[in-house]
Amino acid sequence: MQQVTYVLGAGSLGLLYAARLALTGKTVCLLVKPSQTSALNLGITLSEGEAALAKRVFVRVRSEPSSEIKIQQLILATKAGQAVQSLKNWQSSLADDAEILMLQNGMGSQAEVAKLLTAQQTLLAASVTEGAYLAKPGSVIHASKGKTQLGRWSGAGKDAAARWASRLTIAGLTAEVTEPIRPVLWHKLAVNSVINPLTAINNIDNGALASRDYKPQVDALCAEVLQVFKRLGIEEPEGGLKYRVEQVILSTAANRSSMLQDISSGKKTEIDYITGALLKAAKALKLDLKAHQSVYLAIKEAEQRE
């Protein structure tokens, strides 16, 4: 019998991965909130590119655990702040040798989830650069192709990362094993810690950060990240952090960052798992990151206001 791939979370990445896997013959089951079932019972609508014709992809949908299911392969695709609570809801259905692939931004949620698992269950963490957004519930636009770098975070499954990379590749996504995965997650966090708060505080598209007006802030945030990297022994990304940040600003110029989208729609942001995680690491190293502290407070205030 074919293994079912479970996907927890019906946001843009959850729907993208679920639809791609289902389109290439995998049996996929989306684990969702009861309020989301009616939209998803009609299938996932996937548009590959802004102007592409949408495809309707049918997957199984469940909103409650049951003794009938054993989850062996799970993609955890919630927001970072919801990962632990969402997984707790399904924990009783996890197989003893479950393999869980986490797609969350930032750092912190991986360690929180690892604490829920046994040594026989394998946790993998991924850094994802796919550009996808929800047009409406159940409907995802795959706006730009990116990649999924993944590696083992904890647990017994030594070959689990390779198995997941090949499953995603067969599904038409670009995926590769990158181990150790922690430096990759730190690199993504570093880029997000510069772009996301600045765009959210100033209500601007990512591309606006390329203007001279924002250069002093971009430079200051990058320099502080590098102080932490140096003390943690994390190398800069290829070409240097400032270059990487500039590249992402230019290649995602028309995007509204996820943090700006969250603030605009009154949702809680992932600031605690991005800037918050950086400040936590800095505190342990007795480093004072003034620029990051200031954007952290500004986002917390904006969250309160919305």
User: CA 156, CA 171: separation in Å to the nearest integer?
Assistant: 25
Q: Which stretch binds ligand KPL (CB under 6 A): 168-176, 179-187, 253-261, 289-297?
A: 253-261
45 contacts 139 by C-beta, under 8 angstroms:
yes
Give the per-residue SS3 of 39-83. Answer: HHHCCEEEEECCCCCCEEECCEEECCCCCCCCEEEEEECCCHHHH
Answer for which of 195, 201, 245, 281 binds ligand KPL (CB under 6 A) is 195
Stretch of residues binding ligand KPL (CB under 6 A), selected from 9-17, 171-179, 215-223, 255-263: 255-263
Residue of 26, 79, 188, 242 with catalytic role: 188
Nearer to ligand KPL, 215 or 230 (CB): 215
148 sits near ligand KPL (criterion: CB under 6 A): no
Other C-beta atoms within 10 Å of 235: how many? 11
Total number of residues binding ligand KPL (CB under 6 A)?
10
What residues between 203 and 222 interact with ligand KPL by CB under 6 A? 206
Stretch that binds ligand KPL, among 114-122, 175-183, 251-259, 286-294 (CB under 6 A): 251-259
Does 188 qualify as catalytic in the annotation? Answer: yes
43: left (phi over 0), alpha (psi -120 to 50) or beta: left
Query: In this structure, are residues 181 and 155 in contact, taking their beta carbons and an 8 Å threshold?
Result: no
CB closer to ligand KPL out of 86 and 206: 206
The closest of 301, 246, 262, 298 to 106, measured between CA atoms, is: 262
Residue 193 within binding range of ligand KPL, rule CB under 6 A: no
Does the footprint of ligand KPL cover residue 269 (CB under 6 A)? no
Residue type, 126: A
Nearer Cβ to ligand KPL (110/196): 196
